[in-house]
Structure 1
Amino acid sequence: MEIVGKVAEGLQNFRENRLSGLKPPQEFFDHRQLSRPRDMNEATHRVTYNTRNFSGNYLLIVVILALWALLTNPLLLIVIGLFAGGFAAINKFGADPVTVGNQVITQKTLYIALFVIGIPLLIIADPFSFFFWLIGSSAILILAHAVLMEPGVESEYSSVEQV
């Protein structure tokens, strides 16, 4: 139960810190602020400002892309479920050794069996392509938005000290 409490607390902190900074869709998708930067210096300034300003929205984009990639790769989803379910079942039911015939099945034996079955399936599911697709697609979408979106007027006053 202690683990569930920590996970719930972590999700609560995540929601308060990251998702509270979400900008409304009208501001995030404001087509009137789209323009091509004049030079590399302006593009760098836009990326710096927009990644800070829209960090919650960008994180949401990464999460949505990850969910999309998992749903379109059912074998990877099954393998993740196999590992999660296997670990949960072994921790819940496999703590005490069980004797079957002449064999003693311990928790260590169950973990080895889970990895012997799960690792080849994981290799077939190709999590590396999932990972690199997620990085590439997220980077392209986020950088394209950050470069093309003009910073608001408040960006001009970001370097001014608050009294």
Structure 2
Amino acid sequence: MHPNQIKVHKQPLLLPSDCQLSKPTMEALVRVTDTIKSFRETRLASIRSPAEFFDYHRFSRPADFNIATQRITYNTRYFSGNYVLVIAVLAVYAILSKPILLIALAFLVGGFTAINKFAADPVEMGGHVVTQKHLYTGLFVIGIPLLLFASPLTTFFWLVGASGVVILGHASLMEPGIESEYATVQDTV
């Protein structure tokens, strides 16, 4: 083949600034980023260091139920960011330890995404018109039994129970720091 016979078609390089997103997509993207920013500012900003969270010198058995309640009240506010991370880690563990649940969730989320993205218009196949409604029905007929087989309620209640035991156990055993003593004095003055 002669070098002059080869044709190279160059397409323009699209930069992210050249791509146009629809207005609802942009609004949803802005809402998601705002939600993430506010979550980071409120919860994740209050994460205490691991040395403070796992300070075994401050662990002790409460003398009575009133002291345990006071500790839980104080520590759930003071360590709220850490407790959110504990719940998140336990949730990830729960989902990863049940592969069928992970597959069912991925199937349903992927199915919704694919139907919304690629099948907005009806398609004719073999003399039948397939609409979005038919696709959603098929997704539910397959996805719901798969999800029920994965027992998400068991996983949810395990997550609630495990989180409650870990968080309430930590909060009731951890003695409040010295800063809590100054906070009560400051409130009375």
Q: What secondary structure sits across from 2:124 in the alignment?
A: strand
As a proportion of its length, which structure holds more helix?
Answer: 1
State the identity %. Answer: 54
| Counterpart mapping for 1:107-126 below 5 A | 107-126=132-151
1:107, 1:9 → 2: CA distance? 31
Corresponding pairs, count: 163
Q: Which residue of 1 aligns with 2:54?
A: 29
* TM-score of the pair, normalised by structure 2: 0.83
Q: What secondary structure sits across from 1:158 in the alignment?
A: helix
* C-alpha displacement of 1:162: 9.2
Post-superposition Cα deviations, 1:1-28, rounded to whole Å, max 9, x if no partner, equal: 3223322221121111110000000100
Question: Runs of 5+ in structure 2 lacking a partner?
Answer: 1-24
Task: Please say if 1:55 is aligned against 2:86.
Answer: no
Task: Please say if 1:41 is aligned against 2:66.
Answer: yes
1:23, 1:149 → 2: CA distance? 14
| Counterpart mapping for 1:75-114 below 5 A | 75-114=100-139
Q: What secondary structure sits across from 1:104 in the alignment?
A: strand
Which has the higher Rg, Structure 1 or Structure 2?
A: 2
Q: Which residue of 1 aligns with 2:179?
A: 154
Q: What secondary structure sits across from 2:104 in the alignment?
A: helix
* Moved segments of 4+, more than 6 Å: none
Structure 1 12/141 Cα, relative in aligned 2: closer, same or farther at 3 Å? same
2:106, 2:76 → 1: CA distance? 33
1:18, 1:125 → 2: CA distance? 31
Paired residue type of 1:47 = I
Higher deviation after alignment, 11-20 or 60-69 = 11-20
Paired residue type of 2:147 = L
Paired residue type of 2:93 = W
Q: Which residue of 2 aligns with 1:64?
A: 89
Root mean square deviation, CA, Å: 1.4
Question: Runs of 5+ in structure 1 lacking a partner?
Answer: none
Post-superposition Cα deviations, 1:108-149, rounded to whole Å, max 9, x if no partner, equal: 111111001000000000001110110000000001100100
Task: Please say if 1:139 is aligned against 2:164.
Answer: yes
